[in-house]
Each structure stands twice: as structure tokens, then as C-alpha cells.
């Protein structure tokens, strides 16, 4: 089949690297999984079903190791902006998926094809590459966790995409998102993501907040309407982030996104893709964002990459600290899993990590870290002490008089009368933080 033919630029980039297998916690071979055992059943589901891990296109195959002070450090045979390069990139990507044994991938339109001369050519390139991917997905069994559009790299988007003061930029972004949803739909993607990197401001002095918010709400509504019109079954996800690259983004954190969705009547249509590093940038913990999204019914998917705590920006590193992830995985399991979502490694190797093997090692470590956190959180739940602590702490609310205070018709004066009649005088009770921290440590 022509569409799946390899590019003449294809290489043996990963030559000599064998498929990564599960070898158990005692393994000292760095190219084996010590905790991620895809088929192992934990709490009624396989590890692969809980985690639904995905490799991202941009950091692994498009990023070249550049930073603000230095030139690219990576040499990859597929670097270049032609369709032949794009096909060589796809060959390398699917080879990496095979080595890692991961079931999913994610991509931006711009990661996978050249933009060409105009949006029409960009659309044609993307449609052609979509056919190419479809054949490779069919042959490998690898699936698409989500697709998205890059509405932040090109200079036309420097003042925003949907929130741009220029309506022609809004229109261009709409056309690009339409094409990216089409590609995601054609590939049977489980979700479609919108991350608003430029949807915010650099200075409030040049910004009409009210207008930009309306534009973004309208844009998101049209994306949801389009999804239904074409019969795309995946979830639409917004990825919260407080700042970077813009100084302030409208999708600041889970709570902000939920309020935004409610203003436009989209809270049952759109969920969130929560990124570990973004949660930290927003001044929260990852578990806070996961727990809040689950409680609001908008937990969609996760980007598992962490930040370096000393740097203060989105460093997109592979997760490497399992105990730190246990509280978030507790909430994930309690929520019944991620549904159509998964665990995307929106992570990149450091710019000194120039070997093919480094790409594999990063994912092996990241996946093992998440698998270990899953096992710990599951053991914590099985033990039961934590859940019974929580139940006990709020047990007073099971009392009918307590429930009545929250029911419609309850009034402050009615409650005040009861407090007087029953001489209510609550005594402080310990919050037991140290006991809880020690308990979590026992399972980490």
C-alpha cells in the first residue's frame, strides 16, 4: 500500500535496541520495565488499561534540543521540512512505540507535517499523513490518545489564536482546528485536546479581557458543535496552564477552566487534561488538580511530565518520583480511572541526552514510576485504613440533623435556634496529618 511505504530517508535510528520487556523489580537492566507489566491485573483492570500510556510526537521527534542560549543539540535523520522527512519521522516514531510496547501516541498537526505555503497545503499535507498513520496504526495496533492543533508556534499567533484582536487570526485558527479534529476523527482518536498557550496576555495594557474571553468561549463552543456534527466520539479536553508562554492564560487551572466552561454551558461537554508541571506552576499540587477535576466530573486525561522545582517553568521532564504521585493515583483509582483519557508523556529528554537510547530510557523510567505509583495507591485502597479515616472524619454529616442543614429550606436563623436549644459546643479534633503522612509513606 503506497500510503504506508517507508520514506527513502528512513533510518535504523533505534538499531540494536530490543523491545523493552517486564523483568521485575530486581532487574538491573536499564532497558527493562521493573514495575510496568502491561498485562498484570490490578484491582480488576490491567496496568495498561489503568494507565493508557502515550508517547508524544513533539518532544521526541520534532524537538531539536535548542534552548534560549544554545543551538540544536540533536541530530536526527528525519529533521527537515518535507513530506519525505515527515514519513521518515513517522517510521522512527512507530519503531519507538514498538520498542516501548506503548498502546497510544499523541500529536499536534504541526509536529507531523510541514505547513506548506498556506492553510490549504497544510490541510492537504495533514490529510495525506493521516492516511499514512492509519496504515501504520492498523499494522501495529497502536492507537491515538489525542490529536491537537499547534496554535502557538507560528508568528501569526503571537497575540493569541481564538483570543486574537485580529478576526482573521481567529478564522485561521478555526480552519486549523477543523482540520486537526478531522484528522483525529479519521484516526479514531480517543480525545481531542485544546491547550491555549497564547490564549492570554503579555500585558493587560493592550488587552480587552471581556472580549477575548467571549471569543474563546465561542471558539470552544464551535469545536464542540463540530465534533457532534461529524460524529466524533472522543472527548474534547482543555489543558489548563497558568502562564508560559503568555504571562497569563485564560485556562489557568482546573477551577478556572470549570468556571469558564460553566459560563458557556460546556461543563458537560468538555473535560480537562491535567499536566503535573502545569499544576505546580499554578501554585497547586498535581493531586489537588486531579481530585478537584474528579469531584467536578471533568477529569479527562493526564500529562504525566513533571517540572524541576528549582527552575520555575515547564521543564517537561519524565516523572521519576513514585511516592510523589501516589496521592494523585489514589484519586484516579477512586474516580474509576480515566475513561477515554490516558497518561501522556509530554516529556522530553534533556538537551545533553543526545543518544537514541536516551529517548527509550526516559519513557521506561516514566512508565515504571507511574506503574509503581498505581500499585502503591491500589495497596493503600485495599488496606482500607485511609478510606475509613476519611469516612470517620465526616461521619457527623450522616446525622439527619446535619443533613437537614444542607437541604433546601434550611435557614441560618433555624440553625441558630437549634444551636441555642441543644447547647451545641463543638470540641476540636485532631486533623491527624502526621498519622496520614506516615500511612501514605508505608504504601509508597
Q: How many CB atoms lie within 10 A of CB 201?
A: 21
63 phi and psi, to 5 degrees? -70, 140
Does residue 314 touch ligand XLS according to CB under 6 A? Answer: yes
Alpha-carbon distance 292 to 294, whole Å?
5
The distance of closest approach from Cβ of residue 21 to ligand XLS in the complex, given in angstroms and rounded to an integer, is 29
Compute how many residues bind ligand XLS; rule: CB under 6 A.
10
Query: Going by C-beta distance under 8 Å and a sequence separation of 6 or more, which residues neighbour residue 426?
Result: none
- Quick check: 195 binds ligand XLS (CB under 6 A)? yes
CA angle 73, 126, 14 (to 5 degrees): 40
CA distance 444 to 391: 22
Instruction: Please pick, from the candidates 95, 182, 212, 303, the single residue that binds ligand XLS as defined by CB under 6 A.
Output: 303
Please, which residue, 269 or 275, has the CB nearer to ligand XLS? 275
Whether the bond into 413 is cis, omega within 30 of 0:
no
Cβ–Cβ under 8 Å, residues 109 and 180:
yes
Examine the residue annotation and report whether 363 is marked as an active-site residue of this protein.
no
Q: Does 148 bind ligand XLS (CB under 6 A)?
A: yes
| Shortest distance, position 241 Cβ to ligand XLS, whole Å | 6
Concatenated DSSP letters of 158-201: TT-STT-SSHHHHHHHHHHHHHHHHHHHHTT-SEEEE--TTSEE
Helix and strand element counts for the chain (H, E): 16, 12
Residue, CB closest to ligand XLS: 195
Query: Does 346 interact with ligand XLS (rule: CB under 6 A)?
Result: yes
Q: Which is nearer to Ni ion, 243 or 376 (CB)?
A: 243
Q: Which is nearer to Ni ion, 148 or 444 (CB)?
A: 148
CA atoms of 299 and 339, how far apart (whole Å) = 9
DSSP state of 7: P
Q: Which is closer to Ni ion, CB of 132 or CB of 348?
A: 348
Selected binder of ligand XLS within 35, 85, 136, 241 (CB under 6 A): 241
- 287: partner contacted, choices ligand XLS, Ni ion, none (Cβ within 5-8 A by kind): none
221-224 contacts at long range (C-beta below 8 A, 24 or more positions apart)? 221/264, 221/266, 222/174, 223/177, 223/181, 223/192, 223/194, 224/266, 224/269, 224/270
Contacts with ligand XLS in 54-113 (CB under 6 A)?
108
| Beta strand ranges found along 57-148 (DSSP E) | 104-108, 143-148
Decide whether 42 or 302 has the Cβ nearer to Ni ion.
Answer: 302
Q: Check residue 125 for interaction with ligand XLS (CB under 6 A).
A: no
Pick 253 or 346: Cβ nearer ligand XLS: 346
275 binds ligand XLS (CB under 6 A): yes
Catalytic residue among 35, 59, 85, 108, which?
108
Question: What is d(CA 47, CA 39) in angstroms, rounded to the nearest whole number?
Answer: 6
φ, ψ of residue 215 to 5 degrees: the values are -60, -45
Summarize as ranges the residues that interact with Ni ion (CB under 5 A): 275, 303, 314, 346
Selection from Ni ion, ligand XLS, none that 148 binds (CB < 5 to 8 A by kind) is ligand XLS
Residue 108 appears among annotated catalytic residues: yes
239 binds ligand XLS (CB under 6 A): yes
Burial of 304: CB neighbours in 10 Å, binned 0-12, 13-18, 19+: buried
Least separation in angstroms between residue 147's CB and ligand XLS is 10
Q: Which of 37, 91, 109, 111 is catalytic?
A: 111
Smallest separation (angstroms) from ligand XLS to the CB of 149: 8
Does position 368 interact with ligand XLS (CB under 6 A)? The reply is no
Q: Which residues bind ligand XLS (CB under 6 A)?
A: 108, 148, 193, 195, 239, 241, 275, 303, 314, 346
Residues tagged active-site: 108, 111
Amino acid at each position: 500500500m503506497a500510503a504506508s511505504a517507508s520514506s527513502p530517508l528512513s533510518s535504523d535510528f533505534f538499531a540494536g535496541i530490543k523491545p523493552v520487556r517486564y523483568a521485575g523489580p530486581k532487574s538491573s537492566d536499564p532497558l527493562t520495565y521493573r514495575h510496568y507489566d502491561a498485562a498484570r491485573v490490578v484491582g480488576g483492570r490491567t496496568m495498561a488499561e489503568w494507565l493508557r500510556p502515550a508517547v508524544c510526537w513533539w518532544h521526541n521527534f520534532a524537538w531539536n534540543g535548542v534552548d534560549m542560549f544554545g543551538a540544536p543539540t540533536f541530530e536526527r535523520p528525519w529533521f527537515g521540512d518535507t513530506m519525505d522527512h515527515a514519513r521518515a519521522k513517522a517510521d522512527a516514531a512507530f519503531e519507538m512505540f514498538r520498542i516501548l510496547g506503548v498502546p497510544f501516541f499523541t500529536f499536534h498537526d504541526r509536529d507531523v507535517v510541514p505547513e506548506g505555503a498556506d492553510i490549504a497545503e497544510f490541510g492537504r499535507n495533514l490529510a495525506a499523513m493521516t492516511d499514512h498513520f492509519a496504515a501504520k496504526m492498523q499494522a501495529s495496533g497502536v492507537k491515538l490518545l489525542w490529536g491537537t492543533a499547534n496554535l502557538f508556534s507560528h508568528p501569526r499567533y503571537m497575540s493569541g489564536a481564538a483570543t486574537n484582536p485580529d478576526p482573521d487570526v481567529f478564522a485561521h485558527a478555526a480552519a486549523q482546528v477543523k482540520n486537526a479534529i478531522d484528522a483525529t476523527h479519521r484516526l479514531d482518536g480517543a480525545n481531542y485536546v485544546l491547550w491555549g498557550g497564547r490564549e492570554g496576555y503579555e500585558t493587560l495594557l493592550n488587552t480587552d479581557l471581556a472580549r477575548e474571553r467571549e471569543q474563546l468561549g465561542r471558539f470552544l463552543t464551535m469545536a464542540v458543535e463540530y465534533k457532534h456534527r461529524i460524529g466524533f466520539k472522543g472527548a474534547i479536553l482543555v489543558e489548563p496552564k497558568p502562564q508560559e508562554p503568555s504571562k497569563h492564560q485564560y485556562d489557568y487551572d482546573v477551577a478556572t477552566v470549570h468556571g469558564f466552561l460553566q459560563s458557556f454551558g460546556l461543563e458537560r461537554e468538555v473535560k480537562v487534561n491535567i499536566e503535573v508541571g502545569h499544576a505546580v506552576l499554578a501554585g497547586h499540587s498535581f493531586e489537588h488538580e486531579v481530585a478537584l477535576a474528579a469531584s467536578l466530573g471533568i477529569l479527562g486525561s493526564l500529562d504525566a511530565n513533571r517540572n524541576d522545582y528549582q527552575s520555575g517553568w515547564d521543564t517537561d521532564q519524565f516523572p521519576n518520583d513514585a511516592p510523589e504521585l501516589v496521592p494523585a493515583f489514589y484519586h484516579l483509582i477512586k474516580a474509576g480511572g480515566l475513561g477515554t483519557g490516558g497518561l501522556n508523556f509530554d516529556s522530553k529528554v534533556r538537551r545533553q541526552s543526545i543518544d537514541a537510547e536516551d529517548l527509550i530510557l526516559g519513557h521506561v523510567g516514566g512508565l515504571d514510576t507511574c506503574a509503581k505509583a498505581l500499585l502503591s495507591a491500589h495497596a493503600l485502597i485495599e488496606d482500607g485504613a485511609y478510606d475509613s479515616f476519611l469516612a470517620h472524619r465526616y461521619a457527623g454529616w450522616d446525622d439527619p440533623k446535619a443533613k437537614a442543614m444542607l437541604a433546601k429550606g434550611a435557614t441560618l436563623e433555624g440553625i441558630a435556634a437549634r444551636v441555642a436549644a441543644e447547647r451545641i459546643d463543638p470540641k476540636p479534633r485532631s486533623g491527624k496529618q502526621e498519622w496520614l503522612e506516615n500511612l501514605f509513606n508505608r504504601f509508597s
